[in-house]
A and B are shown apart, each in its own frame.
Chain A
């Protein structure tokens, strides 16, 4: 299956653009998608801390925070949009 990945803020420099399509095996999870994206030590170091996500990082599937679902184990479906960005504020 294919999902759409979108990057924001400094992750655009880290991952080389605003986003990309990512091919994954059927039944893949958010954790599988992020592992596939983190193909260099620098990328992995910005996303993962041990087996979990780094603090101050937000990952969403179709606009829903993965913490509100099953975290890295959240299943993905074809056509989903995965958004990855540092915790950002403003106002």
Chain B
């Protein structure tokens, strides 16, 4: 039992220094824990205190931090997610990525709240963690193996009631693909911003965890009142009650097309034939490839797609996916409406350890460059890079993960690929991160979310505006309101910060907002973490993330969309729509003001002081 003064925490930070080959446990600071809770907030604070934001992201001075939360170890719905932060080798700014599965809960059960890994090993290593014991082990025999092979080999030590859970990279991470992922439970991934490349640069192949340590709950009655409310509301809302289990996230495909937001051919426009969209819809997936739905730790929603598909050689393959983002970014964004091909490419990306989103965005960029004659057939190993060629999509996954041929350039991401070919305007990125599968011209709120996300164009960190602009909030938050978008996106971002810092799933937000969480976290910790207190914490975390990025070199000029979205209109609701530079400027200015940042997008000394971040942030 921990003697940490706040319930819900073990009070232990596990620190591995790979340069020295040392692992040690350091105490968690209680004041820091209360100021940042856990997950994204706590991890960001510790990263900020550990590294120089100006460091080389693929050098030994970078670190990564994974934090759990006080709710993990209770039975709060979906509370088992980990959050990883690092300096991103893809973007050069804060890398921040979240994953479900079971690893986060298992790490907490091993008796730790936070994992910090810094330095770099000269040879492949893995970290093995169980209560009272954490050691670095050689991993030469694992180097080169896929995420599935690595997971299965390391998880083989599992015992009844004490499973071993594995977090690992695949060949893409080893080969420093800038958008390489870190996988757990085979197909759950910390996907965005290239954490796998950071692990690869440190020669860290895997982290295996086991344990049975429990947490204490300080005020069972308060915790239970929030839990009961949450469970009741999740049974009422269609998304959490049945829709995710029925259709997965790809249930959105047809609906996003309905509102002219589904991008085609590297964001050329959002026009599709309905019969093509139907081929890749969540309904079609459910009828053709789905074997069963699955769930992450303690999740009643069940959005996972366990699927099977005929391989190109005719043999049946099994795996997970595709999700909405993967379906669209590997699909219509590349002019492809072949669900089987998208699914197979998704399987390969998971096995090799690639972010399916950045991969899709990078292939779409390459296809546009090929159409413009800037990538020639003789450079592709004979592959036809025309939009719509699913064979190229599948073949390039392996070439990218192994950096073979043109794959070595795709491994650098869309921004660097387009720049190296003399056409930077073909990269559909914000802060060098490939844009998700919602066209920003179809919602000012989504546009501002991409512009101001701390990690570059991310719908989960930047604010998932579709739910405002489309579902349920249309009357209050019009899609094209310059006035309302800044406050709307600030609120959405803060909700995301809370969920990421509590270690819970975004999709709970379709059933309830902050109030049940406030009661659950107050009950677990025994501290007054009311909705108002949580809002202050969310603002603190947002300001700290921005401060990290300012010190990494971000300026207001980086908070902008690619030129295409200002210059080339799409048709939405019968009207031509862009997000003009003037509109971007106005929303950015108002957003900065709401956040307490100056005109250059820097948190002011006053806001840093009032949020107890410190006048200089240090």
Contacts and interface: CB of A to CB of B under 8 A. Distances in A.
Nearest to A66: B474
Contacts of B255: 8, 85, 88
A60 B257 CA distance: 13
Nearest to A56: B238
A58 B256 CA distance: 13
A87 interface: yes
A12, A60, A64, A88: most-surrounded residue (chain B CB, <10 A): A88
A9 B470 contact: no
A68 B481 CA distance: 12
A81 to B, nearest CB: 8
A87 B254 CA distance: 13
Interface stretch (B30-38, B348-356, B459-467, B605-613): B459-467
Given A88-B251, A89-B509, 20 more contacts: A8-B254, A8-B255, A9-B247, A60-B259, A62-B573, A63-B258, A63-B572, A63-B573, A65-B474, A67-B475, A85-B255, A86-B238, A86-B243, A87-B472, A87-B510, A88-B239, A89-B507, A89-B510, A90-B250, A90-B324
Contacts of A18: 278
Contacts of B464: 91
A83 interface: yes
Nearest to B252: A90
A58, A60, A64, A89: most-surrounded residue (chain B CB, <10 A): A89
B261 to A, nearest CB: 9
B337 to A, nearest CB: 17
Given A88-B255, A90-B324, A56 B246 contact: no
Contacts of B574: 62
By Cβ-Cβ distance, the 9 closest A-B pairs, closest first, are A65-B474, A90-B249, A90-B252, A67-B475, A86-B238, A68-B474, A89-B239, A90-B324, A89-B510
A42 B254 CA distance: 25
A88 B474 contact: no
Contacts of A64: 573
Contacts of B325: 91
B522 to A, nearest CB: 27
B242 interface: yes
A90 B282 CA distance: 11
A87 B474 contact: no
A88 B253 CA distance: 11
Contacts of A6: 258
A63 B443 CA distance: 13
A91 B460 contact: yes
Interface residues of B, number: 44
A91 B573 contact: no
B259 A87 contact: no
A66 to B, nearest CB: 8
Nearest to A54: B238
Nearest to A90: B249
Nearest to B281: A8
Contacts of A68: 474-475, 478
Interface residues of A, number: 23
25 contacts: A6-B258, A8-B254, A8-B255, A8-B283, A9-B247, A18-B278, A56-B236, A56-B238, A60-B259, A62-B574, A64-B573, A65-B474, A67-B474, A87-B237, A87-B471, A88-B255, A89-B249, A89-B252, A89-B507, A89-B510, A90-B244, A90-B248, A90-B251, A90-B303, A91-B252
B259 A58 contact: no
Nearest to B442: A63
A9 B243 contact: yes
B251 A91 contact: no
Interface of A: 6, 8-10, 12, 18, 56, 58, 60, 62-65, 67-68, 83, 85-91
Contacts of A91: 249, 252, 324-325, 436, 459-460, 464, 466, 506
A22 to B, nearest CB: 17
Interface in B417-466: 436, 459-460, 464, 466
A62 B236 CA distance: 28
Nearest to A12: B283
B472 A58 contact: yes
Contacts of A65: 470, 474-475
Nearest to B248: A90
A87 B239 contact: yes
B260 interface: yes
Given A58-B472, A63-B573, A10 B510 contact: no
Contacts of B466: 91
B244, B258, B303, B323: most-surrounded residue (chain A CB, <10 A): B258
Contact of B252 (A56, A63, A88): A88
A64 B470 CA distance: 9
Nearest to B471: A87
Contacts of A86: 238-239, 243
Contacts of B243: 9-10, 86, 88-89
A15 to B, nearest CB: 14
B244, B474, B509: most-surrounded residue (chain A CB, <10 A): B474
A10 B247 CA distance: 9
Contact of B258 (A10, A83, A87): A83
A12 B254 CA distance: 13
Interface string B213-254: 000000000000000000000001111001110111111101
Contacts of B324: 90-91
B616 to A, nearest CB: 36
B325 to A, nearest CB: 7
A6, A18, A67, A68: most-surrounded residue (chain B CB, <10 A): A68
Interface in B309-327: 323-325
